[in-house]
A and B are shown apart, each in its own frame.
Chain A
Amino acid sequence: MPRVRRNTPRPPARSAPDRRFVRGEAARATATDPSAARAASPQDVGYEAINGAYRVIDEYLRQGQKVAGELWLPGTDGRPGIADVPRVVERFMQSAGDLGAAWLDLFAAGVTPASGKPDATGTAGPFRVGRRADSPTSGSPAAAPVASAVPLVVSTARPVDVSVDASGPVESWSLGAVAGARGSAATGVSARLAPGPDGRAVLTVKVAATAKRGTFTATITRPDAEGPAGVVTIRVR
């Protein structure tokens, strides 16, 4: 019987990634440099430079991932399930983003420390700002000033952005029903404009945990204005 020659696979000639991919303009520049004539050798400076650079950046990125992976809530064994990590990180980033956005809103509204403002009784971070709003009704209330003159009380179980864009004296405003896109129902989202303890109008926005994501609006009208005088926009995230 004739003997069959077996094709034995050759072992790989290298054990590390080949990153000698200097090409394009840089390759031409290297090729024209006589001192770079040994570029094809694995021992070449360029080869070592590239491998060293990848080593450094990979190590840096791994450390970044390790830090991100440590942003978890304690689980039964002290670590979250793999599927939980992205969600926890996302929630963390969401909270950080909301906090930062709130600070930017305050800066943009020209908020300053309350000293010299005897009627300022609300709080936001280290600052005392705005006027005291109506007593919170439920949930996690937070009083914050808005660019308009109306005090705002937000009671919400969801991350929300609330903005008021309207003209004229607040006392003359009337607030319509809150509606979703194209007039859809705003389940779990409400807004009310009513006098506070000092008789001044206070805008109260409530968002329940069951509210759907989306943008909801309530129209502001004034008896002396033709058409809408403004709008309250509530964005549930």
Chain B
Amino acid sequence: MKYTRRELLKMAGAGAGVIALGGLGVNYLVTESYAKKLKIKGAKEVISICPFCSVSCHFIAHVKGGEVVSTEGDPGYPVSEGALCAKGSTMLSMINSDHRVLKPLYRAPYSDKWEEKSYGWMIEKVARRIKDTRDKHFITKNAAGQKVNRLDAMFHAGSSQMSNEEASIVVQAQRAMGIVNIDHQARI
């Protein structure tokens, strides 16, 4: 049951002395501050960009002791002017998520589990698989006998999550391997 404001005031006025409306007024206000400590006080501000839709809203990461402690919209980006949507508002949780993959993982053929491996081990093994596959399957001519110099047996499904610089690097490497099966979210 909800009361209207007027009903409430009426009720309170008749409240068996529990609450005396006449006692309101200036005394009603409490002078001390109840604010919590501002968690971003003294933090370094670093500007990054939300990794989702192509509006590319900028956000400020508040950094203390090398850790991101808070994130909020960057008013300096004239498109978003400090605003963020539901996704953009969660940069802090996203960066600090305990669900993130933080170690290189390997799953052997027919195995039912991941194994932790060193980064160097992973790099070596992947490079070896690439080389062996390429050496075995690289073709210089297609069925029509035309020169094609390509590797049809491998592919790269890439990502618009990459920065421009990363995309440039990845494409250069894939093309050098002779890979033509290349695609990413621009096509889906």
Q: Determine if chain A interacts with chain B.
A: no
Q: Which B residues fall within an 8 A CB radius of A? A: none
